Amino acid sequence: MSQIDRATFERLLANCASEPIQFPGAIQPHGVLLTLSEPGHELLQVSANIETLLGQRPEQVLGQPLARLIGADAAAAVVQASQTESLADAAQMLMTLNGLAFEALLHRHDGVLVLELECQDVHQLAANDKGLTSNMGRVLRTLQAAPTLPALYEACVREIQKLTGYDRVLVYRFEEAGHGQVVAEASSPDMELYNGLFFPASDIPEQARELYRRNWLRIIPDASYSAVELVPRLRPDTGQPLDMSFATLRSVSPVHCEYMRNMGVLSSMSVSLLKGDKLWGLITCGHRTPLYVPPELRIACQTLGQVLSLQISAMEALEVSRQREAKLHTLSLLNRGMIDAEENVFDGLAAQPELLMQLVDATGVAIIEGSRLHCHGSCPEPAQIRALHAWLKARNEPVFASHHLSSLYSAAEDYQKAASGVLAMSLPKPVDNGVLWFRQEVKESVAWSGNPEKPLDMCDSEAGMRLRPRTSFEIWKVEMTGIATRWSHGDVFAANDLRRSALEDDLARQVRREQQAVRARDDLVAVVSHDLRNPMTVISMLCGMMQKSFSSEGPHTSRRISSAIDTMQQAASRMNVLLEDLLDTSKIEAGRYTISPRPLEVTQIFEEAYTLLAPLALDKAIDLVFLPGQALTVNADPERLFQVLSNLIGNAIKFTPKQGQITVTAQAHGDHVLFSVRDCGEGIAPDQLPFIFDRYWTLKDNNPTGTGLGLYISQGIVKAHGGVITAESEVGQGSEFRFTMPMAV
């Protein structure tokens, strides 16, 4: 083919692939098509053959009520049917018009009511339309009894051939790439056989597949027909072509009719097979002479297609379930290995390579964990595996499967004998990781019906160059290379499930490590805090003894030494407080903070707090007021409750200016007692208030000795009692801290 011819061919092929076949503007001649307005039911469009079949010219009836064309009684029946909630449930409409028998079919689409009148005495009728009800019961029982999918396909084609009398009935299954394969056939002895053959995707273009998906059935009684145009060609209400997606009489592409004739058939019927809302395949019927299948028999075949669709979906689902169940034992063994591995989950997998290969029937496996690469069986070279893994990472697919890797990744051509197929999974971790299963090349010869590289040709016509379908359907064998056995649903499930288990095990391992680190830290804090107490106590005692030997009233040297001893004693005291706070913090974070609650009178607690804290307030001339309420008793740990009060009151004294006031109150609050500590200090900035109970938070100004743990520990103590602690503050006006403790019963 010359370069010019090739360009013309590609242009015509693109036009064919985008042909708007749902807008043919014409019908097949074995009936008439009318479009009606609603609610008036005036005729908007008619097929040009109404003059031949109904005895009236289009210009006589367009714009007129339907009764003008088919009579009042027939029109009344159509109007009544149009008012049915679902037109598919409308009663059968048989009528005689102009001496001919018709069956009326009604549907509504794209804002218009479409009425089709099919002639019932055209050509040769299907021979086996009698006794349909009894036949259908037997056919359904036969389909339900099929033990396997191949047996189901075979039963289907045999029974539909018996019902309709077609010379050939096929079950045609679509593959992922768009081409299809005949998986069952029932043909007359002298017909060419297609069972097992593949057909290229261009035999049924994408827009045709979409129409098959939307319609359960399509029929062509005579492929040598001359199309009948609609009058007017465009819809008068929209100015657009009529969408005939759901019209039984819709005219089909002339290329398809030529394709049928090249196959040696003059009539056909196709029944769609759906899996969910996707087109799984077709039941295709062909006959060497014109054959008209009446609506009742077509509905029966459509029902069989729907039943077959459901059975295919159910049996495929059962097969997938069986494949998955077969993997569960191996998956459990691999999971146990991952759990028991000391370092990481990939070490557990690397220790069981044979089991890992057995899981998905692989011929090789590679396990990647950082710089480590473990290979077993037939695998590419390490550098090739690393490059493939980098390519897989860029695709960002948790699980990847291909039985023809070189078609997606050209570098795989260098090692397709060892790894034509790959199944891979990886975990979302910062280091490179993953498992790659390989399958070796399996050379096979695929039988096509005709040359798949040349499904269409060009020919000269009065309108110029046009496409024509291939004329040869002879078996064309293609030797396939770079292809491995397909990964099954069970294999892909196993990879996904292993990945899920690896994720769970890896996360559990990380949690355990973090818990161990936390425990080690807590133990260290506890040991350090405990072991430092004794030397700090000794330091405090020695400071006291030394203080007695040096008087601040004595000579200059003695006064300097006495001052230094005071500083040491204060530092030791602060260190003791810090050690206590660290120990409490460690217990709170580890969930090991314990309390020993008992009934306590609030009045007594306030008296003790006043006795110990009043001297601090007196140094700044602060008025410290306690209002304990009347006869309140809480259920609390006395030491811990006093710790909270002393922390809050101590902070209030620290940040309240001289001659200020601090008020401490308690009052009943449901089944709790609400404590409040209010000061008139400098307050806390609004942007800082949400963080005051965090660890190590502290006001930097006027707080040189703050550890940032007091409020955090107070919150832990209150929570341990089942209470809550909150704070309100206004800069320049002061702060109020509130907390609750359970009331004693």
CA–CA dist 275, 271 (Å, integer)? 13
Same-domain pairing of 348 and 464: no
pLDDT at 3: 43
138 and 156 share a domain? yes
Give the DSSP letter of residue 118.
E
The pLDDT, as a whole number, for residue 92 is: 86
pLDDT of residue 611: 87
CATH number of the domain within which 542 lies: 1.10.287
pTM (2 decimals)?
A: 0.62
- 614 and 698 in a single domain? The answer is yes
In a domain, 449, yes or no: yes
The answer to whether residues 196 and 51 belong to one domain is no
Residues 302 and 346 in one domain: no
3-state helix, strand, coil in the chain (%, to 5): 45, 25, 30
| Claim to verify: residue 416 and residue 286 sit in the same structural domain | no
Largest CA distance in the chain: 143
* Positions in the chain whose pLDDT score sits under 70: 1-19, 121-134, 443-480, 514-542, 544, 547-560, 562-592, 696, 698-708
**Residue 577 sits in the same domain as residue 717:** no
Q: What's the pLDDT score for residue 9?
A: 44
Last residue of a domain, one of 562, 589, 616: 589
Residue 280 is predicted with a pLDDT of 93
Own/partner pairs for 74-81, CB < 8 Å, 24+ apart? 74/104, 75/41, 77/104, 78/41, 78/104, 78/106, 78/115, 79/41, 81/106
Domain that holds residue 709: 594-742
Are both 375 and 449 inside the same structural domain? no
Q: For 25-50, give the DSSP string.
A: SEE-SSEEEEEE-TTT-BEEEEETTH
In a domain, 198, yes or no: yes
Residue 745 DSSP one-character state: -
Q: Same domain for 147 and 194? A: yes
Instruction: State the pLDDT at residue 571.
Output: 60
Q: Mark whether 625 and 738 lie in a shared domain.
A: yes
What CATH number is given to the structural domain containing 155?
3.30.450.40
Cα gap 699→574, rounded to integer Å: 18
Same domain? 565 vs 710? no
Sign of CA dihedral 301, 307, 310, 311: negative
Between 295-340 and 353-360, two packed helices, what is the crossing angle to 10 degrees? 170
Looking up tokens 């161990």 gives 516
Q: Does residue 247 lie in a domain region?
A: no
Helix (H) or strand (E) holding 469: strand 464-469
Q: β-strand 112-119 against 421-425: which pairing, if any?
A: unpaired
- Angle of helix 149-164 versus helix 295-340 axis, rounded to 10: 180
Q: How far is CA 697 from CA 694, 706, 710, in A?
A: 6, 9, 9
CATH code of residue 691: 3.30.565.10
The domain that holds 114 is classified in CATH as 3.30.450.20
Same domain, 613 and 566: no
The answer to whether the CB of 637 falls within 8 A of the CB of 706 is: no
Amino acid at site 427: L
Final residue belonging to a domain, choices 49, 84, 119: 119
